[in-house]
Chains A and B, each alone.
Chain A
């Protein structure tokens, strides 16, 4: 019992005063996916630090980030959620599809919004069923459609063979249904190649690809699986320009180990890359040079850092929207939810922040929590060691996706006994 009492005192000492705008950061800086979790979390925290240092917070109210280490583990994720929700947490971003599924029912019951940007449960796009879950600006199924659209833009897709190399988990299996529908619609052949966690050894999978010779490969990978897949693809001399990864397979970590041989590899993205934006000058000035960066400060401009910062920016903009429509400066989770539902990102807004052209324009509504599903394709230049967008933000095949979203969300509503509708 001594341990328990000690833990209790530790907990009491840990609870701070309220009144800040609290943004919990469920990060993972350890475990198998640490290399991806670190830059994302750094970006997320640095943006809020910048807001505090430069503007004194959002609408004059300082922000506060509570970091909690999940190690990409669902149980620790639940523990983190329970530990932070009492501190006035405004929005959760777990950066893990597994934790997202745990938290969907919990946040709905507790009335706290959750933003799963480009991951999580795709059918949460239907805000009538998933009142507290948002997944703008794009989701897994949009990604599958973007990849197919990109292939179509380069030539006739009918009769082609397209392989999906995927992480054999809930996350990796997400695009299968969409791709099957698209295969029917456009007449291409889909070949499924699962890779088991952790994906250290993929010889069989890539031999299969070498022998079957698919015209294109789409990858839904995460962690070490990405690096090994790109290396193996280079080993079998698979043409890199025909190899497209989802946004979670498109960080510098994934391509660097393969060196020059990764040149030309493509990845989808829903935000821009690099650090050529006015905001980065501010980030350097107020955060990195002031020694207040969350990490070592060497990640600025990498794909995942940018994504974390973009996530923070969207959260901050939603908080601003919430302050505008409610007139309250101190937000509650419920107000934050309304703000997220009324969020509209325009080019003018992004330019004002110092991020012109950084992300797609979109508008959230009660019916549509997923934005407009715009995404772009980036290509890796091994020489310059940088990503660059090779297309603009383009739409996805909503005819196919919306039908699937409706079907899946209806199934969830029936299972969980939710009455669909806007509040």
Chain B
């Protein structure tokens, strides 16, 4: 096979893997939007916050040490213990549940029935707030996140493809684990929403929240639930991205990678988030590979958006979005 074609295949495969990582972030957006109509810009910061909390718990960091030291003149930094990864993940998930409850209690229960743009702005305010709290709690230095995920080139794929094609493909082990985790996560979400009582209630609220309210479903509970799930999805995304780049401020910017995925897949569709993620991942990587060198590279940031925009011109509600029916 010609070399260029092999390269393109390798790029496509890696694009698929990157797409899974984008989809992981986009999932959190979709869950909240579907259930409550809130376009949650803070999803990226939630991922950062969850990852910071996870690292902080694992390393036994004392939260708010910096401000405590500044006020009381103490020299506190660490508890001096190390928490195993699994326990820390469970504890962090607990923190995200508390966070979900606080968000619902103090913000969105006061903003019921507001226009979508107001809700959107509130989540940006929330993003600022959470960013400040995260930094204040855990400090703004770079933290290494190691929950024991394998990293680096997958030798088996490298060797096998080398034997078949004469060129070894590069696939990152971390991406493979991310894909597996994403599949498990989506399967769990589907099982949850199809076969549990709360899951059915969740779908009912997503369908029509007034009707759901009238049959006795507590909207407040469902919204806390959905924010908790989104918090957990953010934690998973934070772990995957944090393992790649260390946990620090820029982690919150992965939200920007998820937006074109949402546009393309539709704000209300979980399969849309996944398929959208894959299309964006492959599209931007292939474009960078084929056209990028001709126009000077670094096209990925905007190409994802332009690709999604092109899709939208033909399907204004996204690939899997609910058809927009307008009445006058």
Contacts and interface: CB of A to CB of B under 8 A. Distances in A.
B244 A231 contact: yes
Interface in A358-411: none
B300 A38 contact: no
Given A204-B288, A228-B245, A198 B253 contact: yes
A281 interface: no
Nearest to B142: A35
A261 interface: yes
A32 B45 CA distance: 13
A108 B253 CA distance: 36
Contacts of B246: 224, 227, 253, 256-257
A210 B18 CA distance: 17
B301 A196 contact: yes
Given A211-B7, A296-B77, A200 B245 contact: yes
Nearest to A37: B140
B14 to A, nearest CB: 5
B250 interface: yes
The CB with the most chain A CB atoms within 10 A, among B10, B246, B300, is that of B246
B142 A201 contact: no
A210 B151 CA distance: 17
Interface stretch (B204-212, B221-229, B260-268, B289-297): B289-297
Q: Mostly helix, strand, loop or mixed at chain B's interface?
A: helix
Contacts of A200: 241, 244-245, 250-251, 253-254, 257
B285 interface: yes
B153 A237 contact: yes
B152 interface: yes
A223 B140 CA distance: 12
B283 to A, nearest CB: 12
B112 to A, nearest CB: 31
Nearest to B167: A211
Interface string A252-288: 0100110101000000000000000000000000000
Interface residues of A, number: 40
B298 A196 contact: yes
Contacts of A60: none
Contacts of B141: 34-35, 38, 253
Contact of B152 (A196, A203, A234): A234
A69 to B, nearest CB: 11
A223 B250 contact: yes
B161 to A, nearest CB: 13
Contacts of A301: none
A207 B140 contact: no
B11 A207 contact: yes
B298 A203 contact: no
Contacts of A198: 250, 253
Interface stretch (A73-81, A187-195, A346-354): A187-195
B144 interface: yes
Interface in A111-132: none
A245 to B, nearest CB: 16
B298 A194 contact: yes
Contacts of B253: 32, 198, 200
A35 B244 CA distance: 17
A35 B248 contact: yes
A224 B153 contact: no
A46 B227 CA distance: 44
Contacts of A38: 140-141
A63 to B, nearest CB: 23
B153 A30 contact: no
Contacts of A224: 142, 245-246, 248-250
Interface string B1-30: 000000100110011011000000000000
Contacts of B300: 196, 201, 204
Nearest to B18: A203
The CB with the most chain B CB atoms within 10 A, among A201, A227, A253, is that of A201
B132 to A, nearest CB: 9
Contacts of B153: 235-237
A202 B289 CA distance: 12
Contacts of A196: 298, 300-301
A31 interface: yes
B113 to A, nearest CB: 31
A149 interface: no
B101 interface: no
Given A34-B249, A204-B300, A207-B285, 17 more contacts: A30-B135, A32-B249, A32-B253, A35-B248, A193-B297, A194-B297, A196-B298, A200-B253, A200-B257, A201-B257, A203-B15, A204-B289, A208-B289, A231-B151, A235-B151, A253-B141, A256-B144
6 contacts: A30-B140, A34-B248, A200-B251, A207-B10, A227-B142, A253-B246
